[in-house]
Structure 1
Amino acid sequence: MDWNTRFDTSDYVFGTAPSGFLTAHTGLIPPGARTLCIADGEGRNSVWLAQQGCDVTAFDLSPNAIAKAEKLARSAGVSPDFNVSTIEGWDWSQTYDLVVAVFFQFLSPEERTPVFAGLRRALAPGGRLMLHGYTPKQVEYGTGGPGDPANMYTADMLRDAFPDLTLLRLAEYEQELNEGAGHKGRSALVDLIGDAPR
């Protein structure tokens, strides 16, 4: 997937509204949290989190996406710290109160393992991970995400990947999404929300 080309459009591929996963769990967003949004695309989630009072750092590999995120932030009157970076190239040693990982599904199982380790490393003591993605059944729907079930997550996989987190939510479910042209229609989803030990 050439993400920079995909984001080279005036339209926001995934819309400008935040993920429904985040808005459904607003009460679990720690007030004023130092927040990291990974693979944040065009900024819909980082901008909204900044509007909620979070101190947001966000990155994406696409310069075109980051330019659109900065434009969205200006229009919203907030200023997240946007960075151009790959997931593999990010400095995971910086720690945050909240790490948000929404629909970063284009990693093979081999690539995913060190990234999950990075997400865990980025959690400060007591920090919260909010992760949202697709289950393998999503391939049948074809309403977003990659076409390979190996890229998808299951609740068991996520539980095993983050064994020391205190889980506030771990669920597989189906729902209609309307998040830009990129996520539209019946979708097979999985959420993990968990806290690191203090």
Structure 2
Amino acid sequence: MSFWDERYDRADYIFGEAPNGFLAANAARLKGYSTALAVADGEGRNGVFLAEQGLEVLAIDASPVGLAKSAKLAAKRSVTLTTQCLDIGAYDWPEARFDVVAAIFIQFAPPAMRDAMFAGMVRTLAPGGLLLLEGYRPEQLGYGTGGPSQLENLYTEALLRQQFAGLEILSLESYDAELTEGAAHAGPSALIDLVARKPG
């Protein structure tokens, strides 16, 4: 069983059943869009939220255990979403396929894989499409309340501006906040949020 399968193999949801706060706060931006990709969606809290906003959602993740819980959560909330179990590093990021890409705390990826994923997200966004990304900044290592322990996996504003230079940045914010997202994301946290749109 993989690391993520082991983490998800429990009755409760380790990041909670409620959507990520940043994603929920941007719900109004989703109006008028029809398709969404939830990247590394784990147990499904964010993909299910996107489906609740009326979007046709594809949730991708490497953990079959997480995706099974995602389907269970969708049924509980009376929405449908499509799940696909795959190695995210090998995903083909179909060109201009999705109106919305949500990438919430996907910092398992080392720099080379991350760069390829970021390029893939830009590729798969349709013209006019929206990217919603939240992650931890390097200062998170001092808090130790979630996220990776590898400094190189964390995000800075300079990194995100460089990686998403081809998108129109609508909002890029660095701040500290108290997270209460299940047992795995709890306590003071050093966050960075990006909202960007693909020119179209």
**Aligned letter for 1:121?**
R
**Residue equivalent to 1:121:** 123
Q: What's the offset of the Cα at 1:194?
A: 0.6
**2: CA distance, partners of 1:77 / 1:169:** 32
1:31 CA drift (Å) = 3.1
Whole-angstrom CA distance in 2 between matches of 1:195 and 1:163: 11
Root mean square deviation of aligned Cα: 1.1
Does the CA-based 8 Å contact 2:136-2:155 persist in structure 1? Answer: yes
Letter in 2 for 1:187: S
Matched, 1:152 2:154: yes
1:48 and 2:49 aligned: yes
Secondary structure at the aligned position of 1:164 is classed as coil
**Corresponding residue for residue 97 of structure 1:** 99
Deviations 1:6-40 (A, max 9, x none): 11111101000000011111121233420000000
Of residues 105-114 and 55-64 in structure 1, the stretch that sits farther from structure 2 once superposed is 105-114
TM-score normalised by length of structure 2: 0.96
Shift of 1:108: 1.1
CA distance in 1, matches of 2:94, 2:102: 16
Q: Is the 8 A contact 1:137 1:149 kept in 2?
A: no
**d(CA) in 2 for partners of 1:124, 1:134:** 26
Q: Is the 8 A contact 2:18 2:45 kept in 1?
A: yes
Contact conserved, 2:33 with 2:100, CA < 8 A, in 1?
no
SS of residue in 1 equivalent to 2:79: coil
> Per-residue deviation at 1:159?
0.6
**Alpha-carbon shift at residue 87 of structure 1 (Å):** 1.1
Counterpart mapping for 1:154-193 below 5 A:
154-193=156-195
The percentage of aligned residue pairs carrying the same residue is 46
1:82 aligned partner: 83
Equivalent position amino acid for 2:102 in 1: V
How many residue pairs were aligned? Answer: 198
SS in 2 for 1:69: helix
- C-alpha distance in structure 2 between counterparts of 1:87 and 1:189, whole Å: 23
- Structure 2 counterpart SS, 1:88: helix
Matching residue of 1:73: 74
Paired residues of 1:40 and 1:59 also in contact (CA < 8 A):
yes
The alignment's TM-score, normalised by the length of structure 1, stands at 0.97
> 4+ runs of 1 displaced by more than 3 Å?
none
Q: Where do 5+ consecutive residues of structure 2 fail to align?
A: none
